[in-house]
Amino acid sequence: MKQGTLIRGIGSFYTVREEQGTEYTLRCKKKFRREKKTPLVGDEVLFTPGTGEEHGWVECILERKNEFIRPPVSNITQLVLVLAPVPETDFLLADRMIARAFSQGIKVVIAVNKADMDSGMAGRVREQYAAAGIPVISVSAASGDGLDELKELLKGETSCLAGQSGAGKSSLLNAMLGLQRETGEISERINRGKNTTRTVELLEKDGIRIMDTAGFNLLEPEKGLDPKELKERYPEFLPYEGKCRFRECLHNREPGCAVYQAAEEGLVSKERLERYRVLLDETRAEWENRYQ
C-alpha cells in the first residue's frame, strides 16, 4: 500500500498525490459508505494503485487533525478568509467561519481583496479584527498589490481559501501562483445562480500548499455547541475573562461586564461584540432544541 494526500474529488473519483508528486485516480471502497465516512480534500490516505487503465482504491483515511464541513476540507493549519467590497461582505458569516476555525485551533488570516476598487476597506476591517490578533491584509488580484505579503503568510502552512462566491479566491490563486483557474463575472454568476469554482482542490506550487474552494453565502448554526463555550472562540475577550461582575458572564449585556466595558473604551470591536450576541442567541436556540 502507498500513502498520499487527497487533492481533489470529482463524482466518485478521487485524485491522490504521493509525496514525490505522482498522482493516482482512485475510488473508495464500499465500506466507507457503510461507515458514513466521506473522504475530504486534505486527507492523508493509504491506497492501492490501479494497474494499467484500472483505477486503484482508497483503503483507509488516516486520522484527521481537523475537519470542516463547509468548505469540506481536512488537515488545514490556516484559514484564509477572502472578503471584498463586491459582493458585499456578510460579516456575520465571516465571524461564524472564524469561530469554527478557532474552535479547531486553526489560524485565521483575512485577505481583503479588490483593493483597486476600495482601498480603504482593509483598514476598516482591520479595526474590527486587530484585537482578535487576526492579520488583515489588503490585496488586489487585479493590480497585484499585497500579493507578496499574502504569499509570505502562506509559507509553511496548509491553507484553505474561503469566502463568499465572487470575492476573488480563484483570481488570487491565479495572480499569486500563475495558475489559470476559472473565474467568473459576478453579474453572470447571479444569472446562473452558481459558483464558478465547484469543487475543492489542493494546489501546490512554489512551496505553497493551498486549497481553492467553492464560495458560499450561508452557514448553518453549529449544532451541539454549549452557548457557554462560544465566547472562548473570541481571542479578544480572553484578557477580560474573570473580570466581569458575574463569574458566569456570557458578555451579553450583563451588568458589570468587562468585555462590554472594553468595547466602550474601543479595546474590543463593538461590531464584533454585537455579532457575537447574535451568534450567542442562535447557539442558545440550537442548544435548547438539541434533543428534538
C-alpha cell at 110: 483575512
Name residues contacting ligand GTP, limited to 263-292 (CB under 6 A).
none
Closest to ligand GTP by CB, 199 vs 252, is 199
Q: How far is the CB of 272 from Zn ion (least distance, A)?
A: 14
Q: With CB cut-offs between 5 and 8 Å by kind, which of Mg ion, ligand GTP, Zn ion, none does residue 76 bind? A: none
Q: How far is the CB of 272 from ligand GTP (least distance, A)?
A: 23
CB 273 within 8 A of CB 250: no
CB 160 within 8 A of CB 81: no
Query: For ligand GTP, what does the binding mask look like between residues 157 and 186, x meaning CB under 6 A?
Result: --------xxxxxxx-----------xxxx
Q: How far is the CB of 217 from ligand GTP (least distance, A)?
A: 10
Q: With CB cut-offs between 5 and 8 Å by kind, which of ligand GTP, Mg ion, Zn ion, none does residue 244 bind? A: Zn ion
Name residues contacting ligand GTP, limited to 212-251 (CB under 6 A).
214-215
Q: How far is the CB of 128 from Zn ion (least distance, A)?
A: 19
Out of 197, 200, 227, 262, the only residue in the binding site for Mg ion (CB under 5 A) is: 197
Closest to ligand GTP by CB, 12 vs 143, is 143
* Site size for ligand GTP (CB under 6 A): 23
For ligand GTP, the nearest residue by Cβ is 215
Q: Is 141 in the site for ligand GTP (CB under 6 A)?
A: yes
Q: How far is the CB of 11 from ligand GTP (least distance, A)?
A: 19
Phi, psi of 231 (to 5 degrees): -65, -25
Contact residues toward ligand GTP (CB under 6 A) are: 113-114, 116-117, 140-142, 165-171, 183-186, 195-197, 214-215
Q: Which residues bind Mg ion (CB under 5 A)?
A: 169-170, 196-197
